[in-house]
Structure 1
Amino acid sequence: MLVAGTPAFAQSVVFLNPGKSNEAYWRSSAQAMQKAADSLGMQLRVLYAQRNRLEPVAMAQKLANLPKSERPDYVVFSNDYSTAPSILKALEGSGIQAFMAFSGIQEELRPQVGVPRGKFPFWLGSLEPNAEDAGYLTAQALIQKALKMPALRDAQGKLQMVAIAGDRSTPASIARNQGMRKAVREAQGMVVLRQEVYGEWRQDKARDQALGLFQRYPEVRLVWAGNDLMAFGAMDAWRQQGGLPGTDALFSGINTSEQAFDWLRKGQLTALAGGHFMAGAWAMVMLYDHYRGVDFLDEGLELRRNMFELFDARNSQQFEQHFSQTAVRLDFRAFSKYLNPQLRRYQFELAQLLR
Structure 2
Amino acid sequence: MKLFLLFFIGLIHFSCFAINVTFVNPSVPGTPFWDRVTAVAKAAAEDLSINLTIVYGKDNRIYNFKAIEQVIAADNKPDYLIFMPYDGNAVNTFERLEHAKIPFVTIERTLKTHEQAMIGFPQQKFSYWLGEVFHDNVFAGRLLADELIKAAKKQQPNKNIVAIGLAGSFSGESNERTQGLELAIAETDFVSLVQVVPAIWSRERSRNIIFQLNARFGHIDIAWAASDGMALGVLDSIDSGYKGLNTNMIIGGVDWTEEGLKEIENGRIAASVGGHFMQTAWALIKLYDHHNGKSFFKPGDLGKTYDLEAITRDNIEQYKVLTNKVDWRQVDFSLFSLVNNEKTSYDFSFHHILTSLHQ
TM-score, with structure 1 as normaliser:
0.88
Alpha-carbon deviation of 1:35?
1.3
What secondary structure is seen at the aligned counterpart in 2 of 1:194? strand
Asked if 2 retains the 8 angstrom alpha-carbon contact of 1:124 and 1:301, the reply is no
State the superposition RMSD in angstroms.
2.3
CA distance in 2, matches of 1:243, 1:294: 60
Q: Does 1:288 align with 2:288?
A: yes
Of 143, 153, 166, 2:168 maps to 166
The aligned residue for residue 148 of structure 1 is 154
Residue aligning to 1:307? 307
> What corresponds to 2:251 in structure 1?
251
- 2:325 counterpart of 1:319: no
Q: Verify: 1:97 aligned to 2:103, yes or no.
A: yes
**What's the % identity of the aligned pairs?**
27
Provide the rounded CA distance (Å) in 2 between the counterparts of 1:111 and 1:193. 31
Q: Does 1:115 align with 2:121?
A: yes
Corresponding pairs, count: 339
Picking from 26, 33, 39, the partner of 1:25 is 33
Question: Contact 1:80–1:103 at 8 Å: present in 2 too?
Answer: no
**Structure 1 position 39 matched with structure 2 position 47:** yes
Contact kept in structure 1, 2:163 and 2:223, CA below 8 Å: yes
1:124 has 2:130 as partner: yes
| Structure 1 position 194, deviation (Å) | 0.2
3-state SS of 1:347 partner: coil
- Partner-residue secondary structure (3-state), 2:184: helix
Matched, 1:136 2:139: no
**Closer, same or farther in 2 for the Cα pair 1:9/1:305, shift >3 Å?**
closer
Does residue 195 in structure 1 map to residue 203 in structure 2? Answer: no
For residue 68 of structure 2, the aligned residue among 57, 60, 81 is: 60
- Residue 285 of structure 1 and its aligned partner are, at CA, apart by 0.6
- Is the CA contact (8 Å cut-off) linking 1:57 and 1:90 kept in structure 2? no
Is residue 2:76 matched to residue 1:74? no
Deviations 1:41-69 (A, max 9, x none): 111111112212211111111111111xx
Identify which range, 243-252 or 220-229, moves more after superposition.
243-252
Structure 2 gap ranges (5+): 1-12
How far does residue 102 in structure 1 lie from its aligned partner after superposition?
Answer: 2.0
CA 1:243–1:223 in structure 2 vs 1: closer, same or farther (change >3 Å)? farther
2:235 alignment partner in structure 1: 235
1:335 corresponds to: 336
Q: Which secondary structure state, in structure 2, belongs to the residue aligned with residue 272 of structure 1?
A: strand
Checking the alignment, whether the CA contact within 8 Å between 1:64 and 1:91 is kept in structure 2 is yes
What's the counterpart of residue 211 of structure 1?
A: 211
Q: 1:126 to 1:25 in 2, by over 3 A?
A: same
CA drift of 1:298 comes to: 5.3
Shift of 1:241: 5.2
Q: Is the 8 A contact 1:246 1:267 kept in 2?
A: no
Superposed CA deviations along residues 154-201 of structure 1, whole A, max 9, x for unmatched, are: xxx3100100011222x32222112212221232x1100000011111
Deviation of 1:347 after TM superposition, in Å, equals 1.1
Q: Following the alignment from structure 1 to structure 2, what is the Cα–Cα distance between the partners of residues 199 and 290?
A: 39
AA in 2 matched with 1:121: S
Secondary structure in structure 2 of the residue aligned to 1:172: helix
SS in 1 for 2:332: coil
Residues 162 and 196 of structure 1 are in contact (CA less than 8 Å); yes or no, is this contact kept in structure 2? yes
| 3-state SS of paired residue (1:273) | strand
**1:210, 1:234 within 8 Å by CA — same for their partners in 2?**
yes
